[in-house]
Chains A and B, each alone.
Chain A
Amino acid sequence: MNRFSYARPGSVADAVREVGSSPAAKVLAGGTNLVDLMKYNVERPAHLVDVTRLPGLKEIEETGEGGLRIGALVSNSDVAYDPRVQERYPLLSSAILAGATAQLRNAATTGGNLLQRTRCYYFYDAATPCNKRAPGTGCPAKTGVNRIHAILGTSEHCIATHPSDMAVAMAALEAVIHASGPNGEREIPIAEFHRLPGDTPERDTNLGADEVVTAVTLPTPRFATNYTYLKLRDRLSYAFALVSVAAAFDMEGGTVREARIALGGVAHKPWRVPEAEAMLKGVVPERGAFAMVAERILQGAQGYGGNSFKIELARLAIIRALSQAAAGTPQSQTDKRIQ
């Protein structure tokens, strides 16, 4: 690990100042991703700003519209097991519990989870080129080992995925991220938070380097009955998604008032296609319609060899997840059999 200076600010304003004090400053929350990457010499911050003691960021509060405001420092466990989250946003609870392990979820924070970096093997290996870690050096994943890589929204510069499960559920729920920076507070809808790699893969998100995430708000709950989080991976627990699907319906009688579908493990950000979701509006949910929706979502999908299997896997996962959501039988995160 490189050497660095350390600060533990006592207010969000001080934290913003500390983060802005050097271009090589980094926020430290749970540390489960940042410390790991520092041990691999992938992250080499000159200054660490430990935000874990900031007041007011560890609470889950009512927003007044039936929604919830989750402080950036609330642990993944505390979100997943909060009775209000379980009741109103069981999709979010399920997605978090599908990720990592009890120990990691206890340490990991809401802000850190959103900002965790890709698990691309080359990104992690400082001995190899990688445009995300070292812009301009190339992307060996495109022609190399790319089982875990993206099939949608890739660029010639990077085919990495965003590894978070939590963010996929938040994308389906249209969460809003609250950030504080030198110019004050701002709100970023989650669809605009993570970005596609384009020709600047070194940037995972649209958060400024001098901004601190303070909270995530969840809008008025509408998807607490017909939902599922289906995660497919190389082992049954403690593994990142190869493909995951967050699916939810707001039902009116027997027809769909609104559908939400977000995919994980397939792109540089949680993947949503609003046009595909709109195909289900007013429809009685059934397999034929789901198959057409899956085709639409995967339009333009491209494999790179090792990950080409993901296109068919994603197609089937979307259909299965939509069936689970329609039936009101969400995937259990304990009993791994897929019904």
Chain B
Amino acid sequence: MADLDLPARQGFTPDAPSAALPGEIPLTLTINGERRELHVRPWTTLLDLLREDLHLYGTKKGCDHGQCGACTVLVDGQRINSCLALAVSKDGCEVTTVEGLAAPDGALHPMQEAFIEHDAFQCGYCTPGQICSAVGLVQEGHARTPDEIREQMSGNICRCGAYTNIVDAIEDVLAKETAK
């Protein structure tokens, strides 16, 4: 993981060597339906745990600072930026990544289907975050109109500018949900 130790810079006292630094802390997470007993160092973010330790590369690192949404996952059903969450603080939680959206038999999630149908991506880098975010949006139930979808999806930046088709895909899923 990216935990490089920068040299002390202006205004910082270098880290005092501490005897009390922890080793790995035990952590239980249910990831995509599978219960995992893990050990992490406290400075590991949920994003780095998923990608570097568990090799779930679907979740992307864009900015690593909460500014792009590429790292969006669902924690206990709620979409959050996994780059700003320390893994230890999510002990006991259920995490769903893009890998966990499809049914066990491989049938794609309706949001994944809709993204394909509406051609809602170009390079695809932002797509796992967009899809997880859109699944969260539908569950939250605060968006109906295209304007509301755009506002509720503002946390997911698409450098390729596939926004129009992303909104169409989500609108489609929302319409099918309400028709149910």
Chain A's nearest CB lies how many Å from the CB of B101? 17
Q: Is B84's CB under 8 angstroms from A134's CB?
A: no
Chain A's nearest CB lies how many Å from the CB of B27? 11
Chain A's nearest CB lies how many Å from the CB of B10? 6
- Give complex CA distance A79, B66 in Å: 21
Complex: chain A residue closest to B20, CB-CB: A5
Chain B's nearest CB lies how many Å from the CB of A103? 5
Q: Is B88's CB under 8 angstroms from A101's CB?
A: no
Complex: chain A residue closest to B151, CB-CB: A334
B25 CB contacts on chain A under 8 angstroms: 6
Q: Does B154 belong to the interface (CB within 8 Å)?
A: yes
Q: Is B155's CB under 8 angstroms from A101's CB?
A: yes
Knowing A31-B86, A39-B65, the reply to whether A102 touches B133 (Cβ < 8 A) is: yes
- Give complex CA distance A4, B15 in Å: 10
Most chain B CB within 10 A, of A28, A101, A102, A130, is at A102
Q: Does B18 belong to the interface (CB within 8 Å)?
A: yes
B145 CB contacts on chain A under 8 angstroms: 334
Q: Is A3's CB under 8 angstroms from B43's CB?
A: yes
A77 CB contacts on chain B under 8 angstroms: 78, 140
Of the listed stretches A45-53, A144-152, A209-217, chain B binds A45-53
Q: Is B155's CB under 8 angstroms from A3's CB?
A: no
Number of interface residues of A (CB under 8 A): 44
A333 CB contacts on chain B under 8 angstroms: 151
Q: Does B177 belong to the interface (CB within 8 Å)?
A: no
Knowing A32-B81, A103-B133, the reply to whether A41 touches B12 (Cβ < 8 A) is: yes
A32 CB contacts on chain B under 8 angstroms: 66, 81, 84
- Give complex CA distance A237, B157 in Å: 11
- Give complex CA distance A324, B142 in Å: 24
A127 CB contacts on chain B under 8 angstroms: 9-10
- Give complex CA distance A46, B22 in Å: 11
Q: Is A5's CB under 8 angstroms from B154's CB?
A: no
Chain B's nearest CB lies how many Å from the CB of A329? 17
Majority SS at the chain A contact face: loop
Q: Is B69's CB under 8 angstroms from A134's CB?
A: no
Chain A's nearest CB lies how many Å from the CB of B87? 11
Q: Is A50's CB under 8 angstroms from B89's CB?
A: yes
Chain B's nearest CB lies how many Å from the CB of A243? 20
Chain A's nearest CB lies how many Å from the CB of B88? 6
Complex: chain B residue closest to A6, CB-CB: B42
Q: Is A41's CB under 8 angstroms from B6's CB?
A: yes
Q: Does A252 belong to the interface (CB within 8 Å)?
A: no
Knowing A5-B21, A102-B140, A137-B10, the reply to whether A107 touches B42 (Cβ < 8 A) is: no
B20 CB contacts on chain A under 8 angstroms: 5
Q: Is A103's CB under 8 angstroms from B10's CB?
A: no
Knowing A2-B15, A5-B42, A334-B147, the reply to whether A106 touches B79 (Cβ < 8 A) is: yes
Q: Does B137 belong to the interface (CB within 8 Å)?
A: yes
Chain B's nearest CB lies how many Å from the CB of A37? 10
Q: Does A275 belong to the interface (CB within 8 Å)?
A: no
Most chain A CB within 10 A, of B11, B85, B154, is at B11
Q: Is B11's CB under 8 angstroms from A126's CB?
A: yes
Type the 1/0 row for B73-94, where 1 means its CB is closer than 8 Å to any CB of A.
Answer: 0000011110011101101000
Q: Does B148 belong to the interface (CB within 8 Å)?
A: yes
Q: Does B3 belong to the interface (CB within 8 Å)?
A: yes
Type the 1/0 row for B138-176, where 1 means its CB is closer than 8 Å to any CB of A.
Answer: 001010010110111111000000000000000000000
Chain B's nearest CB lies how many Å from the CB of A327? 22
- Give complex CA distance A104, B86 in Å: 14
Q: Does A129 belong to the interface (CB within 8 Å)?
A: yes
- Give complex CA distance A173, B6 in Å: 43
Q: Does A128 belong to the interface (CB within 8 Å)?
A: yes
B155 CB contacts on chain A under 8 angstroms: 100-104, 238
Within 8 A of B (CB), among A257-292: none
Q: Is B11's CB under 8 angstroms from A238's CB?
A: no
Q: Does A44 belong to the interface (CB within 8 Å)?
A: yes
A236 CB contacts on chain B under 8 angstroms: 154
- Give complex CA distance A84, B20 in Å: 45
- Give complex CA distance A104, B64 in Å: 13
Residues in A lying within 8 Å of B, measured CB to CB: 1-6, 8, 28, 30-32, 35-36, 38-39, 41, 44, 46, 48, 50, 52, 77, 81, 100-104, 106-107, 126-130, 133-134, 137, 236-238, 333-335
A-B contact pairs, 20 of them (CB 8 A): A3-B15, A3-B43, A5-B42, A6-B25, A28-B86, A39-B65, A44-B15, A81-B142, A101-B155, A103-B79, A106-B78, A106-B79, A106-B136, A107-B85, A126-B10, A126-B12, A134-B11, A333-B151, A334-B148, A334-B151
The 6 closest A-B pairs by CB, nearest first: A134-B11, A101-B155, A237-B154, A6-B42, A107-B80, A238-B154
